[in-house]
Amino acid sequence: MKKWGSAIWKGGIKDGQGVISTQTGVLREAPYGFAARFEDGPGSNPEELLGAAHAACFSMALSLMLGNAGLTADKIQTKAEVTLDKDGEGFSITKVHLTVHAQVPGTDQAGFEAIATQAKEGCPLSKVLNAQISMDATLDA
């Protein structure tokens, strides 16, 4: 299976602008740029897109692993906070923190945390990232 995303950039790093698109068309020439990445400007940025992708990947992995344990979540809500730190002359993504809240009948907090930890380690995006990945997993009533 192969999926793709694409980007077009025009101009310099600070005054330039870019657009991103995805194979499915969910994103079609969505704007991104310096201001959205390093300031509070409009548009998207690679870190928030990575965060959304990691949150989605983790949530699906958690659903799979819950199913393997005979459980089905009523709801899984995940936020992935991506940290971009200065690294010499450039920048590096150094951490991703997952915050997950889920409603899963038939389990307790300890059982949920064990399965969530497996999902964090088994999620394909977690495996590809060269960053510290931490997590807070809360089983909601």
- Give residue-wise pLDDT tens across range 102-111: 999 999 999 9
DSSP string, 88-115: TTEEEEEEEEEEEEEE-TT--HHHHHHH
The whole-number average pLDDT for the span 51-79 is 97
Distances (CA, A) of 30 to 2, 26, 40, 42, 63: 21, 9, 16, 11, 29
Collapsing DSSP to helix, strand or coil, 128 comes out as helix
In this predicted structure, what is the pLDDT of residue 141? 84
Q: Which residue has the tokens 């959304």?
A: 52
Burial class from Cβ neighbours inside 10 Å (0-12, 13-18, 19+) for residue 23 reads exposed
Residue range 50-56: average pLDDT?
96
**Structure confidence at residue 123 as a pLDDT band (50, 70, 90):** very high
For the chain, list the domains and their CATH numbers: 5-38 (no CATH), 46-139 (3.30.300.20)
Confidence of residue 135 (pLDDT cuts 50, 70, 90): very high
